[in-house]
Amino acid sequence: MRLLGLLALACALTTTAAQAQSPLERGRYLVETIAGCGNCHTPQGPNGPLPGRSLAGGMVVEDNPAFTAIASNITPDRKTGIGAWTDEQIFRAIREGIRPDGSLIGPPMPFGLYRGLADADVRAIVAYLRTVPPVPNPVAKSTYRIALPPAYGPPVGHIDAPPRTDKVAYGAYLAGPVGHCMECHTPMLPDGQRDTERLGAGGQPFNGPWGTSVAANITPAKARGLGDWSDAQIERAIRTGVSADGRKLFPPMAFGYYAKIAADDMAALIIYLRSLPPQD
Ligand code: HEC
Ligand code: HEC
């Protein structure tokens, strides 16, 4: 009996150890998996992210009539990256889109959703960004032919993530503020705001070297959505970019990053997607 007790204690300790990630570990996990900052900020060649250039910026992320957006160098290089910024300045840039000089960071960085990131997660991301190798890489400025607002909203106060035990709420947090799945998969209203009545309904086009891909309907609608898909099929699509019918999915979804999403986060994501009102 005593042995069993010890075993139970050992198991309990291992589980807690796995959950008690340091902020640096948490930041590495978020940036390198579900947040996928590198999907925009790491320059890519024909074979994916360029080695040794992680988060060095320079990619034209979007070129449309309204703007030409070039991803910034967010490595700790002091001259061409964000190495001279304080932790607080980086924190504010990520969550509120405001640089140390007061200027606004433009789209398509998903600030509407990043404003909902928990304090602890932004701090973790900042801690990790401090540790990536600095890459000297001067990046041209983006051009915004539309007027940017003075801010994306009032200053954000303190935010905590929902408890992980609440799978739907935690899944919503992952699919929203952390992974910005809903930024791509929700249709836009004419005023450029996400149509929150139709979360996950898809339909936005994305142009790139691959041609045009259209964000899928990821609500539980039968036929048009994921209603007939098994959990394993949804997981395979997210992690490997292979659709239920075996078709290879096109970018810009960050499959390479999503491959390493933790199992419990993947489960929460899928539970959340299944909880959405089905949309046709
Ligand atoms: C959808 C693409 C996209 C994603 C995803 C994205 N960014 Fe950005 N980010 C950009 C673009 C484009 C800019 C430059 C905008 C401009 O020029 O105003 C930028 C600017 C920044 C800046 C300002 C840097 C400077 O020198 O002005 C920081 C800091 C930043 N991003 C951090 C992050 C972090 C951290 C993540 C992940 C949590 C992230 N970004 C995810 C596209 C993205
Ligand atoms: C940058 C935009 C973007 C982001 C972010 C994004 N997706 Fe996608 N997603 C797409 C596009 C576009 C497609 C369709 C690709 C195609 O048809 O080739 C797609 C396809 C899918 C599919 C396959 C559906 C089908 O019918 O084939 C699933 C499931 C999915 N996304 C879930 C997610 C989840 C979950 C997240 C967040 C972890 C996410 N996506 C983030 C753009 C995005």
Token readout for 8 is: 């139970």
Any ligand 2 atom below 6 A from CB of 215: yes
Highest mean pLDDT range out of 12-16, 129-133, 149-153?
A: 129-133
Residues in Cβ contact with 263 at an 8 Å cutoff, skipping those fewer than 6 apart: none
- Which own/partner contact pairs does 221-227 have at CB distance under 8 Å and 24+ positions apart? 221/278, 221/279, 221/280, 222/278, 224/279, 224/280, 225/200, 225/278, 225/279, 226/273, 226/274, 227/278
Atom of ligand 2 nearest to the CA of 234: 29
Please spell the DSSP secondary structure of 218-275, one letter per residue.
-SS-TTTSSTT--HHHHHHHHHH-B-TTSPBPPTTS-HHHHTT--HHHHHHHHHHHHH
User: What is the rounded distance in angstroms from the CA atom of residue 278 to the CA atom of residue 211?
Assistant: 28
Nearest atom in ligand 2 to 180's CA: 5
DSSP string, 174-195: IIIIIT-HHHHHSPBPTTS-B-
Report the alpha-carbon distance of residue 186 to residue 268 in Å, rounded.
19
Q: Alpha helices of the chain — where are they, by DSSP H? A: 2-19, 23-32, 38-41, 87-96, 111-114, 119-129, 167-173, 181-185, 231-240, 255-258, 263-275
Q: Is residue 1 scored above 50 in pLDDT?
A: no
Establish whether residue 97 lines the binding site of ligand 2, counting it when its CB lies within 6 angstroms of any ligand atom.
no
Q: What are phi and psi of 90, to 5 degrees?
A: -70, -40
Ligand 2 atom with minimal separation from the 214 CA: 12
Kindly list the protein residues whose Cβ atom lies closer than 6 A to any atom of ligand 1. 35, 37, 39-41, 61, 69, 71-72, 74, 82, 90, 93-94, 99, 105-106, 108-109, 125, 142
Ligand 1 atom showing the smallest separation from residue 252 Cα: 1
* 130 or 48, higher pLDDT: 130
134 cis-preceded (ω within 30 degrees of 0): no
pLDDT at 5 over 60: no
Q: In sequence order, what are the residues at sequence separation of 6 or more whose Cβ sits closer than 8 angstroms to the Cβ of residue 33? A: 257, 258, 259, 260, 261, 262
- Model pLDDT for residues 51-73, shown as the tens digit of each residue: 999 999 999 999 999 999 999 99
How many Cβ atoms are within 10 Å of 87's Cβ, its own excluded? Answer: 13
* Average pLDDT for the chain: 93
Does the Cβ of 71 fall within 6 Å of ligand 2?
no
Protein residue with least CA distance to atom 8, ligand 1: 109
**Model confidence at 191, in pLDDT bands (50, 70, 90)?**
confident
Which class is 163-280 in CATH?
mainly alpha
The residue contributing the CA closest to ligand 1 atom 17 is 142
Provide the 3-class DSSP secondary structure of residue 212: strand
Ligand 1 centroid to residue 233 C-alpha, Å? 31
Please say if the pLDDT value at position 205 is more than 60: yes
From the CA of 67, the nearest ligand is 1
At residue 46, the pLDDT reads: 84
Ligand 1 center to 105 CA (angstroms)? 7
Residues β-bridged to residue 104: 98
Q: Which atom of ligand 2 is nearest to the CA of 261?
A: 38
> What pLDDT score was predicted for residue 280?
86
